[in-house]
C-alpha cells in the first residue's frame, strides 16, 4: 500500500504499472506459521494456497489444514521435513531442548495426531492418542531431550479449537438422523440453579518417551492449562471444575468464566499430585514458576468477582501456600485478545513482580519482596509503564516514549536505549504460542532500533542488521537469526545479514498494485480531533464513488487499517474494493468510555466522516455506499435508520435486535464444556452492545438501540448477508429482512449454509463478492469505467 500525505500527490496521474487486486488473488494466498531455528536447519510451517484445501470445516483455523512442515539446512532452500500427505495439515508442537527432535501435529479427515520427528534423519513416529491443544499451552512441554508432556483428549475427539467450526453441523446431522430413525430421543437438556449440571471431560496428562512413543498417564482431569517448572521436576495443571453462574446484577463482560478452574501440581519424579488450594478458582493465563527454586505464582479467588482475588505463591518442594500483600494497589486484570483475562506478573529472580494500581492512581510495576512493603519500581517514569520487554534477576526492562529503560531491583534506571521501534520476535502464529506466552516477558530483551533508515536488532551484546521491511521471526541458541522480508507482497524468508532466499510465498502478487492511502483529519461535534483513512486506486483521477466501512470504536493513527493484500480477509476488504475502482473510506468512530446509547449518534458521525472525505474533492459523495460487518454491520443498520445519504447499504453478520438477541446461544458451542455467556449476555451488557445492564433492567434502552425497531425509517436499498451457524444468530438478518419485506422496502437477504461469522468456503467467498460488486454497480455504477 502506498501512503500519501498530501492531496497533491494523490491527484498526480500515475501510469498503470500493474494490475488490480482480485478475489482470485486473495484465494490463492499462501502463508507462514511458526518458524523455528534448530541446529539441523530452519523449521518452517508453510500454508499452501487457500483454495487448495481438501475441506473447509475448521473455520478460523483453516491454516492448520493447509500447513506443511519444511526444513532449510544451512546454505539450502526449504524442502519437506518428511513425507506428508496432500490432504493433511502438519505443524510444529515444540522443539526439544537440544533442538534435534520436533513434536508435531497432523490433522487429517477430522482426526488430530501427535508425532515426533528426528530432524537429522527426517523420520517421524506417530503416537497412538489424540492430543489436545489447550489455549494457554498449545504445544508440548519437553522435560528433557528424551521426554515430553502432552495433554490428550478422550478417545479420538478433536480439541475444541478445531472442533467448533463443524460442531453445529455435526450435532444437527446426528440429531436429525436420530429423530428420523425414531428409536432414540434426540434431546439436549440444560439446567440452571438447583438443576445446574457439570460435565467433566476425562482428558489425560501424558509423559511420552520420544524414542519409543510409550506414554504414561500422570493425571486425569478436564485439563485447561499446563506449565512446567524451571527445573523441569514439577508441572502445574489447571483443570476445569464445576459450572459458574453470575452472582448479582452487575454487568458481565465477554470474559466471564463459565467454569471454575482448579490447580494441581504434579511431582514428575514421584508422580504425586497435590492440590495447593482446593477452594481456589484460578485466573487464566498466569502460571509463573520462579527460576531459582520451585515456587509457583498464580492468582485466585474463592468466591465473587476477580477483584476479590489474591496473588498466591505455592512452594512445590515444601507444599506450602502463601498469599502476597500488594498493599493498597490492586493487581491489574485486563481483558485482552478479545475475551482473555490477563494479569501481568512474574519473577524478578526470587522476588515476585506485578502490575498493580492503587485507587485513583495509575498502574505501576511493584516488587513484592517477602517481609517488606510493596515497592513501586516505576513511579518516577513520566508516562505510565506498559508491558515488560524483559524480566530477570537483574531487574526489568520496558519501553517508554521510544526508549528502552533498564530498571534494577531498587527502581533505579541504569541503562537507556533510544529509537526503539519494537520489542520481541514478530509472531507469525499466535495460536501456537497462547496468551500466557505472548504476555510473559523473556529474560533477555529483543529490541529493534531504528536510526534513520537503518534498523538493528539488539539482543544482549549482539547486533542483527535488518532491512527496511524485515521482521525478525526466529532466533536460535546457536545465533541463527531468520527474517521475513516484507518489502513486497511476495514475502521471502532468509537468514539475517544475507540475501540468500530460504523460501518465498505469494509470487502471484508480484505484479499486483495496491491502493493509495490518504489520511483525513476532522473534528467531531464534541470538539475532538479524529482521523479517517481514504483509499483510492493507484493512478485514479477525478471523483469516484466511495464505499464507507464503519466500525464503532475504531480510532486511527499514522497507519491505515486496510489489510495487506497477502493476508486473507474475506469480508469488508478495502483493497478488493479499491481494485474494483471504488474509493474506500475507513471512518474514525470513537466511542464514549461508558455504556449508554451506542446507536443514537452513529449515523451522524458516519455522515460527518463522509463529508470530510468529500471535502478533499477525491470522492463523489452523491455516489456513496456503506458496508459494515459484525459490529460494523450494526453501524450500517443504524445508519440505514438515521440517514438517506447513501445509495446502497450492505450489512453482513450484523446485530439488528439487541432485545431479541439477548440470551441467544452460539450454535457451535458444546454446552457440555460450559454455558457460554459471551455471545448471549456478555456482549450486550459490558461488551460492544454497551447496554450496561441485563435486558430486564432496561428493556427500553435495548429497543432504542436496536435497528430492527427503526425499520420504518429505512429507505436505502439494503443487502443483508449472514451465515446460518454464526455466533451472531442468522435470526438477526431474518428479522431485519422480514420487517423490510413487510414494509415493501428494497432489500435482499443472502444466507450461506454452513458458514459462521465470515465465509470460509472459497465458493461462498467468490459468490459473496460477486453479489457485493453487483449490488454496488447497480446503485453506484461500474467504478472501473471512471473518466
Structural domains in the chain, sorted by start: 2-8+510-785 (3.40.50.1820)
Provide the b/e sequence for 46-84 (b: ≥16 CB within 10 Å): bbbbbbebeebbbbebbbbbbbbbbbbeeeeebeebbeb
Q: Which residue has the higher pLDDT, 673 or 245?
A: 245
314-352: per-residue pLDDT in tens? 999 999 999 999 999 999 999 887 778 899 999 999 999
Distance of CA 628 to the CA centre of its chain: 20
Distance (Å, whole) CA 396 – CA 387: 10
64-113: per-residue pLDDT in tens? 999 999 999 988 999 999 999 999 999 999 999 999 999 999 999 999 99
Q: Assign 509 a pLDDT band (cuts: 50, 70, 90).
A: very high
**Is residue 122 within 8 Å of residue 133, measured between CB atoms?**
no
**Is residue 574 within 8 Å of residue 548, measured between CB atoms?**
no
Q: Assign 787 a pLDDT band (cuts: 50, 70, 90).
A: low
Place of cell 452492545: 689
C-alpha cell read off for 331: 493487581
**Is residue 762 within 8 Å of residue 771, measured between CB atoms?**
no
Main-chain dihedrals φ then ψ at residue 647, nearest 5 degrees: -85, -20
Place of cell 518458524: 35
406-440: per-residue pLDDT in tens? 999 999 998 899 999 999 999 999 999 989 999 99
Q: What is residue 365's three-state secondary structure? A: strand
Residue 13 burial (C-beta neighbours within 10 Å; 0-12, 13-18, 19+): exposed
Residue 497 burial (C-beta neighbours within 10 Å; 0-12, 13-18, 19+): exposed
The whole-number average pLDDT for the span 182-189 is 91
| Residue-level length of the chain | 787
The pLDDT, as a whole number, for residue 17 is: 54
CA distances from 10 to 13, 62, 539, 616, 681 (A): 8, 38, 8, 10, 46
Proportion of the chain above pLDDT 70, given as a percent = 97
Q: What is residue 686's three-state secondary structure? A: coil
**Is residue 62 within 8 Å of residue 48, measured between CB atoms?**
no
The pLDDT, as a whole number, for residue 57 is: 93
Summary mean pLDDT of the chain: 92
Which stretch of 491-500, 673-682, 773-782 has the lowest confidence by average pLDDT? Answer: 673-682
Distance of CA 514 to the CA centre of its chain: 25
Distance (Å, whole) CA 131 – CA 113: 6
578-637: per-residue pLDDT in tens? 999 999 999 999 988 777 888 888 999 999 999 999 999 999 999 999 999 999 999 999
704-724: per-residue pLDDT in tens? 999 999 999 999 999 999 999
Please choose, from the candidates 616, 601, 482, the residue with its C-alpha nearest in 3D space to the C-alpha of residue 72: 482
**Is residue 610 within 8 Å of residue 635, measured between CB atoms?**
no
Against a cut of 0.95, is the pTM above it? no
Place of cell 431474518: 734
Please choose, from the candidates 574, 542, 534, the residue with its C-alpha nearest in 3D space to the C-alpha of residue 785: 542
Residue 575's H or E segment, with its range, is helix 574-579
Distance (Å, whole) CA 504 – CA 485: 9
475 Cβ contact partners less than 8 Å away, ≥ 6 residues apart: 37, 425, 446, 459, 481, 482
Please choose, from the candidates 367, 443, 362, the residue with its C-alpha nearest in 3D space to the C-alpha of residue 411: 367
Residue 387 has pLDDT above 60, yes or no: yes
Q: Inter-axis angle of helices 602-614 and 631-642, to 10 degrees?
A: 90
CA distances from 269 to 227, 316, 319 (A): 16, 12, 15
Distance (Å, whole) CA 616 – CA 557: 19
Residue 227 has pLDDT above 80, yes or no: yes
185-189 contact pairs (CB < 8 A, 24+):
188/671
The pLDDT, as a whole number, for residue 765 is: 99
The pLDDT, as a whole number, for residue 2 is: 47
C-alpha cell read off for 649: 447499504
E-assigned strand segments in 492-542: 492-495, 501-504, 516-523, 529-536
CA distances from 369 to 298, 349, 377 (A): 16, 11, 12
Residue 541 has pLDDT above 70, yes or no: yes
What is the full DSSP assignment across 602-620? Answer: HHHHHHHHHHHHHTTTSEE
Residue 450 burial (C-beta neighbours within 10 Å; 0-12, 13-18, 19+): middle
Residue 4 has pLDDT above 70, yes or no: no
**Is residue 464 within 8 Å of residue 481, measured between CB atoms?**
yes
Q: What is residue 679's three-state secondary structure? A: helix
The pLDDT, as a whole number, for residue 3 is: 44
Instruction: Write the secondary structure of 222-282 as one string of H (helix), E (strand) and C (coil).
Output: CEEEEEECCCCCEEEEEEEEEECCCCCCCCCCCCCCCEEEEEEEEECCCCCEECCCCCCEE
DSSP-derived letter for residue 394 is T
Place of cell 509470487: 507
**Strand partners for 72:** 42
Q: In terms of DSSP bridges, do strands 420-423 and 413-418 run parallel, antiparallel, or are they unpaired?
A: unpaired
C-alpha cell read off for 217: 498417564
Residue 773's H or E segment, with its range, is helix 762-780
C-alpha cell read off for 258: 463459565
Alpha helices in 15-124 (DSSP H): 23-27, 62-66
C-alpha cell read off for 744: 415493501
638-668: per-residue pLDDT in tens? 999 999 999 999 999 999 999 999 888 887 7
Cα Rg, the chain, nearest whole Å: 27
Distance of CA 92 to the CA centre of its chain: 19
Q: Within 10 A of 321 (CB to CB), how many other CB atoms are there? A: 16
Amino acid at each position: 500500500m502506498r501512503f500519501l500525505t498530501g492531496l497533491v500527490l494523490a491527484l498526480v496521474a500515475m501510469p498503470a504499472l500493474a494490475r488490480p487486486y482480485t478475489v482470485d488473488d486473495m484465494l490463492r494466498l499462501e502463508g507462514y506459521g511458526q518458524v523455528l531455528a534448530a541446529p539441523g536447519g530452519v523449521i518452517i510451517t508453510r500454508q499452501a494456497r487457500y483454495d487448495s484445501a481438501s475441506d473447509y470445516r475448521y473455520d478460523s483455523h483453516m491454516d492448520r489444514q493447509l500447513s506443511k512442515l519444511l526444513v532449510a539446512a544451512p546454505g539450502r532452500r526449504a524442502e519437506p521435513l518428511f513425507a506428508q500427505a496432500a490432504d493433511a495439515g502438519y505443524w510444529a508442537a515444540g522443539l526439544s531442548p537440544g533442538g534435534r527432535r520436533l513434536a508435531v501435529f497432523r490433522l487429517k479427515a477430522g482426526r488430530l495426531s501427535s508425532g515426533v520427528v528426528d530432524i537429522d534423519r527426517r523420520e517421524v513416529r506417530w503416537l497412538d492418542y489424540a492430543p489436545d491443544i489447550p489455549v494457554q499451552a498449545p504445544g508440548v512441554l519437553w522435560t528433557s531431550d528424551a521426554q515430553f508432556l502432552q495433554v490428550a483428549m478422550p478417545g479420538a475427539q478433536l480439541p475444541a479449537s478445531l472442533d467448533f467450526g463443524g460442531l453445529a453441523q455435526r450435532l444437527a446431522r446426528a440429531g436429525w438422523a436420530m429423530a428420523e430413525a425414531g428409536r432414540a430421543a434426540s434431546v439436549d437438556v440444560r439446567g440452571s440453579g438447583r438443576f445446574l449440571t457439570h460435565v467433566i471431560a476425562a482428558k489425560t496428562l501424558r509423559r511420552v518417551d520420544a524414542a519409543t512413543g510409550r506414554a504414561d498417564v500422570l493425571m486425569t482431569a478436564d485439563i485447561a492449562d499446563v506449565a512446567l517448572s524451571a527445573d523441569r521436576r514439577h508441572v502445574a495443571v489447571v483443570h476445569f471444575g464445576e459450572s459458574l453462574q453470575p452472582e448479582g446484577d452487575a454487568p458481565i463482560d465477554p470474559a466471564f468464566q463459565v467454569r471454575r478452574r482448579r490447580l494441581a501440581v504434579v511431582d514428575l519424579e514421584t508422580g504425586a499430585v497435590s492440590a495447593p488450594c482446593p477452594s481456589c478458582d484460578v485466573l487464566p493465563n498466569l502460571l509463573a514458576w520462579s527460576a531459582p527454586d520451585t515456587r509457583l505464582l498464580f492468582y485466585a479467588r474463592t468466591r465473587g468477582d476477580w477483584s476479590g482475588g489474591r496473588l498466591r505463591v505455592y512452594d512445590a518442594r515444601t507444599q506450602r501456600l502463601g498469599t502476597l500483600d500488594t498493599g493498597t494497589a490492586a493487581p491489574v486484570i485486563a481483558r485482552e485478545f478479545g475475551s482473555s483475562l490477563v494479569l501481568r506478573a512474574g519473577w524478578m529472580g526470587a522476588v515476585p513482580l506485578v502490575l498493580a494500581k492503587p485507587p485513583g492512581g495509575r498502574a505501576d510495576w511493584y516488587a513484592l519482596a517477602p517481609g517488606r512493603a510493596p515497592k513501586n519500581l516505576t513511579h518516577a517514569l513520566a508516562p505510565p509503564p506498559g508491558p515488560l520487554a524483559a524480566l530477570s534477576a537483574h531487574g526489568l526492562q520496558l519501553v517508554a516514549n521510544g526508549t528502552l529503560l533498564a530498571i534494577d531491583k531498587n527502581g533505579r534506571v541504569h541503562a537507556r536505549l533510544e529509537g526503539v521501534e519494537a520489542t520481541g520476535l514478530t509472531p507469525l502464529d499466535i495460536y501456537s504460542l497462547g496468551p500466557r506466552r505472548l504476555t510473559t516477558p523473556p529474560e533477555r530483551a529483543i529490541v529493534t532500533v531504528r536510526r534513520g533508515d537503518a534498523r538493528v536488532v539488539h539482543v544482549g551484546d549482539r547486533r542483527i542488521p535488518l532491512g527496511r521491511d524485515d521482521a525478525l521471526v526466529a532466533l536460535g541458541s546457536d545465533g541463527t537469526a531468520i527474517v521475513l522480508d516484507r518489502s513486497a507482497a511476495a514475502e521471502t524468508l532468509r537468514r539475517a545479514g544475507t540475501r540468500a532466499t530460504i523460501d518465498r510465498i505469494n509470487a502471484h502478487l508480484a505484479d499486483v498494485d495496491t491502493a493509495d492511502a490518504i489520511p483525513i483529519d476532522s473534528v467531531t461535534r464534541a470538539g475532538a480531533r479524529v482521523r479517517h483513512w481514504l483509499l483510492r486506486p493507484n493512478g485514479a483521477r477525478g471523483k469516484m464513488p466511495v464505499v464507507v466501512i464503519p466500525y464503532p470504536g475504531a480510532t486511527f493513527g499514522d497507519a491505515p487499517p486496510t489489510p495487506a493484500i497477502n493476508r486473507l480477509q474475506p469480508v469488508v476488504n478495502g483493497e478488493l474494493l479499491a481494485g474494483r475502482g471504488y474509493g474506500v473510506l475507513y471512518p474514525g468512530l470513537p466511542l464514549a468510555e461508558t455504556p449508554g446509547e451506542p446507536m443514537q449518534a452513529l449515523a451522524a458521525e458516519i455522515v460527518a466522516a463522509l463529508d470530510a472525505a468529500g471535502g478533499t474533492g477525491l470522492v463523489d459523495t452523491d455516489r456513496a455506499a456503506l458496508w459494515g460487518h459484525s459490529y460494523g454491520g450494526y453501524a450500517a443498520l443504524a445508519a440505514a435508520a438515521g440517514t438517506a445519504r447513501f445509495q446502497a447499504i450492505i450489512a453482513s453478520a450484523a446485530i439488528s435486535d439487541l432485545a431479541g438477541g439477548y440470551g441467544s446461544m452460539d450454535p457451535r458451542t458444546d454446552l457440555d464444556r460450559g454455558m457460554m455467556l459471551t455471545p448471549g449476555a456478555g456482549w450486550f451488557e459490558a461488551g460492544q452492545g454497551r447496554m450496561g445492564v441485563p435486558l430486564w433492567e432496561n428493556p427500553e434502552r435495548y429497543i432504542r438501540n436496536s435497528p430492527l425497531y427503526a425499520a420504518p425509517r429505512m429507505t436505502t436499498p439494503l443487502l443483508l448477508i449472514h451465515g446460518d451457524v454464526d455466533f451472531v444468530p442468522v435470526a438477526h438478518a431474518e428479522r431485519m429482512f422480514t420487517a423490510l419485506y413487510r414494509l415493501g422496502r428494497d432489500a435482499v437477504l443472502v444466507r450461506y449454509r454452513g458458514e459462521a461469522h465470515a465465509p470460509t468456503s472459497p465458493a461462498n467467498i467468490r459468490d459473496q463478492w460477486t453479489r457485493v460488486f453487483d449490488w454496488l454497480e447497480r446503485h453506484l455504477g461500474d467504478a472501473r469505467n471512471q473518466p
